[in-house]
Amino acid sequence: MNREDFLPVNREDMLARGWDQVDFVYVTGDAYVDHSSFGAAIISRLLSHYGYRVGIIAQPDWKKDESVCVFGRPRLAFLVTAGNMDSMVNHYTVSRKHRKTDSYSPGGEMGHRPDRAVTVYGNLIRRTYKDVPVIIGGIEASLRRLSHYDYWDDKVRRSVLLDSGADLISYGMGERSILAIAEALDGGLPVGELTYIPGTVYKTRQKNWPDDAILLPDYEHASSDKKAYAKSFLLQYQNTDSVTAKTLVEDYGSRGFVVQNPPAPPLAMQEMDDVYDLPYTGLAHPDYEKAGGIPALSEVRFSLTSSRGCFGGCSFCALTFHQGRILQVRSHDSLVREAERMTKEPDFKGYIHDVGGPTADFRIPSCQKQLKRGVCSNRQCLWPEPCPNLQVDHSDYVELLRRIRSLPKVKKVFVRSGVRFDYVMADRDRTFLEELCRYHVSGQLRVAPEHVSDQVLACMGKPPHRVYEGFVKEFDRINKKIGKQQYAVPYFISSHPGSTVKDAVRLAEYIRDLGFMPEQVQDFYPTPSTLSTCMYYTGLDPRSMKPVYVPKDPHEKAIQRAMLQYRLPANRALVMEGLQKTHRMDLVGFGPKCLLRPDKASRPGGHSPAVPKKKTIRNLHKKRPTGGKA
């Protein structure tokens, strides 16, 4: 690909197109990747398709004011995003240590974007161009659009709209709202008058919101009273559906009000097709070739996005806030066209890495009611058990996978974005599970039971553990039937709200019985705007306002994490301490159920017994393995 195939990234590119000015300058914290898995590519291509001139400033040097002056003053506005990830999650581990790499930067090199990128970029632009509209969007702005608990500051921060100096937030996926904003600005409306667009958040000093708007607890109250914050969060959580949501208003005292309009309606199938049929190159900008390209692209380049939205309702997931619970899907024809284009790429090896979305096997609405009435604000579709109105049908997804895997040059189609095992179990027709095992798994299927304690699973919004056990039995039965040796590899989270050390010991026992040790363990990460994060901060389940045990002490969290890898010598002292605290010293000894061998000093003769060789996924499954996400 040549530079001309991408949108302009500097003034020379702009002039080469015969432009003397751009309509929008798009500032992003990611490197410029023109692929539909990158939000900046979607919005910039969409605006370009509608005739707007868009210039891209990727990863500007935030220490230099001139870094946002590449194209000069845009005719309509600056658009700002932190990128595909929240910049703080991108930079820091759950233990608040600096990450070593950034998959969205050239060569994976860290340091190309600031902490709180939306806020830094917004203020940088505002200093340089005081009267040009600034519109912020993407995951960071979307999940921080109202007051939110910030794990890294350990406090409730105010709306990013105020901190960034921006005029508007376009939240959610943003296609509808950004086109409405562009049309209004192009028509001459001042940005201060854009108070009516669904999917946006604006600030005002006047009480100009609808009569049925919901007044949230004011920021001063929400930031100082955890019960008030939990109530505020629940109201936000209950108003994420475009059909039922009300306008939300948050009072910031002398700073005025921040007003969130209801979400934009989800895209229809044809609209989804139109978005994904835009002329993306599917590549990173050629300027990055010398640095080794952009690592994140390799994960998605030969993958297909078939859907958006998720009615799974996991407490630790922010999808409800960002994409919503109503599914938006592409047509089979659109997906097949994209797959056919992939097969013509010179470096396509015959493998399509994924056909999915937030949850791969969700392709139809959870129920017919929601199409007219919206999703239920006070109940979930799958938790604590599948709703009686839930539509369970994998036939559309099965047909889609059949069409794609039958294409010439396609050797294998994987399903890697995860399946909901409880949804699979609710389907009496096992066709999908059988075809998944037969054609779309290569040895291991990653699934996400997350824990084994029903108490913890209830906090997570996940089904009881027996549902996962039933799934594994079915998975094993079908693999035996088709003559394949494949393993369900579960993914677990440690230290989630509701989890005690006793629960961690139970999880360790389960891992022992599976006969292997997970290579990676994920501590719960309190990211903005999730139910679990609200529990973490307040110690309350906002759905019931009942207290929830929250492991916050770093040492206790280390114990819970160590339990999941109890065989590692480095974890021995922590695991021993956990067993002592829970009065489970019966798990120290030489029996087959023991997690630890006794200390050398306490053994007869002082000799170390032979330590069993560590089992791996490949040589085990005489018992069952674990690991993965769905």
Confidence (pLDDT) at 368: 87
Q: Which pLDDT band holds residue 607 (cuts at 50, 70, 90)?
A: very low
**pLDDT at residue 123 above 70?**
yes
**pLDDT at residue 125 above 60?**
yes
**pLDDT at residue 520 above 90?**
no
Tokens 């958040």 identify what position? Answer: 201
**pLDDT, tens digit (0-9, with 9 covering 90-100), for 417-463:** 889 999 999 999 999 999 999 999 989 998 999 999 999 999 999 99
Segment 575-586 shows an average pLDDT of: 97
**pLDDT at residue 615 above 80?**
no
- In the predicted model, what is the mean pLDDT of the chain? 93
Q: Which pLDDT band holds residue 603 (cuts at 50, 70, 90)?
A: low
Segment 324-343 shows an average pLDDT of: 96
**pLDDT, tens digit (0-9, with 9 covering 90-100), for 541-553:** 999 999 999 999 9
**pLDDT at residue 303 above 90?**
yes
Q: Which pLDDT band holds residue 372 (cuts at 50, 70, 90)?
A: confident
**Least confident span in 152-156, 314-318, 618-622:** 618-622
- What is the C-alpha separation between 449 and 244, in angstroms, rounded? 31
609's torsion region: left (phi>0), alpha (psi -120 to 50) or beta?
Answer: beta
Q: Which residues contact 478 (CB under 8 A, 6 or more apart)?
A: 430, 433, 434, 437
Confidence (pLDDT) at 624: 41
- CB-based burial of residue 253 (10 Å sphere; 0-12 exposed, 13-18 middle, 19+ buried)? exposed
- DSSP code for 157: E
Ordered by start, the domain boundaries in the chain are: 3-197, 443-630
Q: Which pLDDT band holds residue 609 (cuts at 50, 70, 90)?
A: very low
**pLDDT at residue 616 above 90?**
no
The CATH classification number of 443-630 equals 3.30.750.200
- What is the C-alpha separation between 409 and 417, in angstroms, rounded? 22
**pTM for the whole structure:** 0.93
Total residues belonging to the chain: 630
Task: Find the distance separating the first CA and the last CA of the chain, reported in whole Å.
Answer: 35
**pLDDT, tens digit (0-9, with 9 covering 90-100), for 467-483:** 999 999 999 999 999 99
- What is the C-alpha separation between 262 and 245, in angstroms, rounded? 5
Q: Which CATH superfamily is domain 3-197 in?
A: Cobalamin-binding domain (3.40.50.280)
Nearest to 42 by CA among 4, 76, 2, 81: 81
Confidence (pLDDT) at 599: 84
